[in-house]
Chain A
Amino acid sequence: MIDYEKDPVLIRGTEDIWWVGFGDKKVGFANNPYLIIDEDEAMLIDPGPRGRFYKIVHNKVAKALKGDFEKIKYMAVQHEDPDLCASLPLFAQIVDENVKLYVQTRTAAFMPYFEYEGAMVTIEDGDKMSFKSGRELTFITTPYVHFAGSNVIYDSKTKTLFSSDIFGAFSVDWNLYANEYYLEAMKAFGEPYFGDHRSVASAMEKFEKLDIERICPQHGSIIDGKENVKNAIEVVKEMTVGQWV
């Protein structure tokens, strides 16, 4: 029996991608940092906020890595929201001292304000990184959805899209995997936070070219299965965004 408060969860259909996040019922949000463990190397994607949340993520990462934080050779921040990256300097103190942080140029500018002083690899659209095993991750920029420096990450080995806030949702009644009502919850997040249809359409156009088996968003639930992925893309394409203008 999985204890979602304490246990890291291996993502269904993968052998090495772990959910190390937490649900926050008070805000109505789930925050979903992910950990890829590729043989003796690992990447932590969007490490999450500070405070009690850091402790939760830290303990889950520790369990997934059996305490060996130095396996984390890579970290990635998909945009500069504090719920994604405020804990960055805390993790930087315990992971491999030569850790590389992958971050888009326009997001990199903000990293010093999170007191992150480590090495950064700045990425642009289509850039790739490889683990020692040869496994390749592709960085795809999604400007203005919902930050100028937003990007997502595609893992071709597992056909997983780590989508940052795109396909995210507000969810008090949270499940790790999206249920039949998820697309509505996704609108509840996307409509207030995405500003412009052109930028959303551009991101969706990029995703439609990928072979995606699952979407792992930073908030909400994992969208599993090609048909569900296709439906989710259609819903985001049709979202009414920019309504606060």
Chain B
Amino acid sequence: MDMKQFIELVAKRGYGIYGKETIEKMAKDAGISLSPTGVAISGNVEAAARKFFDAYSKTTPVAAMNLKMMAKMHNIKL
């Protein structure tokens, strides 16, 4: 799984927990565009991912736990 696919997975999970609107805004602020066809990133993928994951983790301890869990499952280094 590459970073874009992982972002998509985290976002999808986030829709259920935080609502689609919240996640889409969080992603947009990080320079990530989420759409039904996938993830588009205008700048550096790693930097955008880091920004998105930071915002995601800060929402609740539950979010941070889930992000860690998914990263472990998919062998992604945060």
Do A and B pair up? The answer is yes
Task: Please list the residues of chain A having a beta carbon within 8 angstroms of any beta carbon in chain B.
Answer: 26-29, 169-173, 181-188, 191-192, 240, 243-244
CB pair B16 A181 closer than 8 Å: yes
Binary contact track B39-77/A, C-beta < 8 Å → 1, others 0: 000000000000000000001111101100100110000
Bound state CA distance, A191 and B65, in angstroms?
Answer: 11
Bound state CA distance, A111 and B72, in angstroms?
Answer: 36
Bound state CA distance, A184 and B66, in angstroms?
Answer: 11
Interface of A, secondary structure class, is: loop
- Greatest chain A CB density within 10 A among B16, B20, B59, B66 is at B16
27 examples of A-B residue contacts, CB within 8 angstroms? A26-B60, A27-B60, A27-B62, A28-B17, A28-B59, A28-B60, A169-B16, A169-B17, A171-B16, A172-B17, A172-B18, A173-B18, A173-B19, A184-B15, A185-B13, A187-B13, A188-B16, A188-B17, A188-B62, A188-B66, A191-B66, A191-B69, A191-B73, A192-B65, A192-B66, A243-B69, A244-B69
Contact residues in B for A184 (Cβ distance below 8 Å): 12-13, 15-17
Check: B5 CB closer than 8 A to any chain A CB. Answer: no
Per CB-CB distance, the 5 closest pairs between chain A and chain B, nearest first, are A185-B16, A173-B19, A184-B16, A181-B16, A181-B15
CB pair B22 A173 closer than 8 Å: yes
CB pair A173 B17 closer than 8 Å: yes
Bound state CA distance, A27 and B64, in angstroms?
Answer: 12
Interface size on B, residues (CB 8 A): 19
Residue of B nearest to A221 (CB): B16
Contact residues in A for B60 (Cβ distance below 8 Å): 26-28, 172
Bound state CA distance, A187 and B69, in angstroms?
Answer: 11
Bound state CA distance, A185 and B18, in angstroms?
Answer: 9
Bound state CA distance, A58 and B17, in angstroms?
Answer: 27
Known A27-B60, A29-B62, A172-B59: A243·B16 in contact at CB below 8 Å: no
Bound state CA distance, A63 and B16, in angstroms?
Answer: 31
Residue of A nearest to B16 (CB): A185
